[in-house]
Structure 1
Amino acid sequence: MKRRTKVLLGIAVGVVVVGAAVVVGGPVVYANLVNGAADAAPTLAPSGDATLAAADAEGRWTSTAGSFAGYRVHEVLRGQDVTVTGRTEDVDAQATVTGGSLTAATVTVQVASISTPEAARDEYFRGTALQTDRFPTAVFRVTAPVDVRPALAGTDRDVALRGALTLHGVTEAVTVHAKLGVDRSGHVQVAGSIPITFADYGVHAPDLGFVTVDGRGAVEFSLELAM
């Protein structure tokens, strides 16, 4: 079966499922089900209140198990607000700390592995929206050093990372507002989101008549880093 046929069939199945939910339970019930399945926004783990001396942070950090990335979008279904989140743990991150500053960092996400509870939505996301066969990864690179000593010392967990986000083959300058913490094992966690406008990356938000997707969303991430 050709890929385009699979995509169209997947969307058709999704439409039938949504339509059935609307008919049987109504838009409110369906919206509550989807919203109930949405993941919480990434944040520092409760154990992320330890500290780390700047000298001990010097060197190269690499992502470990527990890291994830994904997206958050808002939909409107027959007047009902719906929040959808997709997640993947197929993330590779590398960061370098020198002189108390984050001097380099790269986060690479395998976009095709991002999933939600609905396979039809995932097929549309991978095949039609982001064309992951052509653009399999999303990459964020830090482009300016940032002093992380206050975050490592626990005096100010907020960090602003200036960088470049490459998505769907398009690169845009972005500023990421994130939280940085240290857990009791000495790992560093960085959690945050990047607001995006889909059209900036050549991505068209779907409009199926009874459900529309906002033209803006967010790339979300939570990184567990170890030396």
Structure 2
Amino acid sequence: MSRRGWGIAGAVAGVAVLGAVGGPLAYAALQEDAAPAATVQAQPTEVALAPDTDGTWTVAAGSTAGYRVEEVLNGADVTVAGTTDRVDGTLVVDGGDLTAAEVTVDVASVTTDSDRRDGYFREQVMDVAAHPTATFAVTGPVDLPELSGTPVTVPVAGELTLAGTTRPVEAALSAVRTADGVDVSGSVPVTFADHGIEAPDLGFVRVEDEGSVEFLLRLVR
């Protein structure tokens, strides 16, 4: 082969090597962090709010739940969030106290921006065939402040069930009264190993062992 031919071959080989090594790095660098979690919002002052908070409240359309974790993808830190709108549950308020609450999430329907990640999450991480849902339940009465159109934050003790394992957790719930009822958002910190879940470590991608479960609930009576 001529010197020019060898030069061309070498350049092609060099591009191939850079693509194999740098491609994943470039992909990682292009990944954007997930958007911040949806939270309750202050209501306009002219809105007529729901008249009373006592009663049984049901999770309605517009509610979401999911998870948020930190990934290290080929050396780049990326925040990943998965969400679903397949959320059910009820909350009971009696005499201004939150006396009972349980929220169930369809884990198999949680999605991110990557089908491959979602498939691995469902089959290898969460085993949704055996454990299709996750639940959060309040374990004791919670003294609620008077709810208005301005969000208030309340600490809540509860139990979180993931992959069939239940653990006690502490959560901070934000609540606001709306025209249709009550909106509640919150974030529950999670150590995955506590639930028997092994955080993925595939070499090119590693997931931190700690993350959070997030939710925004639209509640109607």
Question: The TM-score by the shorter chain falls in which range?
Answer: 0.7 to 0.9
Give 2:22's aligned residue: 23
Cα deviation for residue 32 of structure 1 reads 3.9
Q: Residue type matched to 1:171 in 2?
A: T
Rounded to whole Å, the distance in 2 between the matches of 1:156 and 1:147 is 15
Q: What stretches of structure 2 of length at least 5 have no aligned partner?
A: 1-17
Give 2:215's aligned residue: 221
Give 1:79's aligned residue: 75
Deviations 1:142-201 (A, max 9, x none): 111112233x14677011111111110100011111211112x13211111111001000
Whether 1:96 aligns to 2:80 is: no
Give 1:181's aligned residue: 176
Q: Map 1:35-54 onto structure 2 (within 5 A).
A: 35=33, 38-47=34-43
Matched-pair contact (CA < 8 Å) for 1:51–1:182 = no
Give 2:9's aligned residue: none
Matched-pair contact (CA < 8 Å) for 2:49–2:181 = no
Rounded to whole Å, the distance in 2 between the matches of 1:76 and 1:148 is 39
RMSD of equivalent CA atoms: 2.4
Give 2:31's aligned residue: 33
Give 1:205's aligned residue: 199
- Secondary structure, in 3 states, of the residue corresponding to 2:31? helix
Question: How many residues were matched structurally?
Answer: 203
Give 1:129's aligned residue: 125
Cα deviation for residue 21 of structure 1 reads 9.4
When residues 21 and 168 of structure 1 are mapped into structure 2, their CA distance, relative to the original with a 3 A threshold, is: farther
Give 2:163's aligned residue: 168
Matched-pair contact (CA < 8 Å) for 1:48–1:182 = no
Deviations 1:74-94 (A, max 9, x none): 011232110111000000020
Matched-pair contact (CA < 8 Å) for 1:71–1:86 = yes
Rounded to whole Å, the distance in 1 between the matches of 2:112 and 2:150 is 36
Q: What stretches of structure 1 of length at least 5 have no aligned partner?
A: 1-18
Matched-pair contact (CA < 8 Å) for 2:172–2:188 = yes
- Secondary structure, in 3 states, of the residue corresponding to 1:112? helix
Q: TM-score, normalised by structure 1?
A: 0.81
Q: Which has the higher Rg, Structure 1 or Structure 2?
A: 2
Cα deviation for residue 124 of structure 1 reads 0.7
Matched-pair contact (CA < 8 Å) for 1:21–1:30 = no
Deviations 1:85-114 (A, max 9, x none): 100000002000001001001100010000
Give the alignment partner of residue 195 of structure 1, picking from 189, 211, 215. 189
Matched-pair contact (CA < 8 Å) for 1:74–1:213 = yes
Matched-pair contact (CA < 8 Å) for 1:42–1:192 = no
Matched-pair contact (CA < 8 Å) for 2:67–2:212 = yes
Structure 1 range deviating more: 69-78 or 55-64: 55-64
Rounded to whole Å, the distance in 2 between the matches of 1:222 and 1:48 is 19
Rounded to whole Å, the distance in 2 between the matches of 1:208 and 1:145 is 43
